[in-house]
Amino acid sequence: MKNMKKVISSAFNAYFKNPQFLLVFVLEYLILSLFVFNSFIKFPNLYYEYAFLIFSGAILLLINSFFLSIFIGGSYLALKSKFSFKESFKFYRFTLGNFVLLLILTLGFAIRFYASSYAGYFADLKFSNLPFPSYYVSLFIFFIINLALIFLTFQNFYLTLKKEKIFYSVRKSFITVKKNYFTILLILVVYLALDFLISQIPYLYIGEIIRYVIVYPLLVLILTSLFENVQKT
pLDDT at position 79 over 80: yes
Task: Quote the pLDDT of residue 36.
Answer: 60
Rg (CA), the chain: 20
67-to-91, 115, 182 alpha-carbon distances in Å: 9, 30, 27
| Residue 66 pLDDT > 60 | yes
- The whole-number pLDDT of residue 41 equals 61
**Confidence bin at 106 (pLDDT 50/70/90):** very high
What's the rounded mean pLDDT across residues 197-219?
Answer: 89
Report whether 76 contacts 57 (CB < 8 A).
no
Per domain, the residue ranges of the chain are 4-231
The whole-number pLDDT of residue 180 equals 93
Q: What is the pTM of this model?
A: 0.88
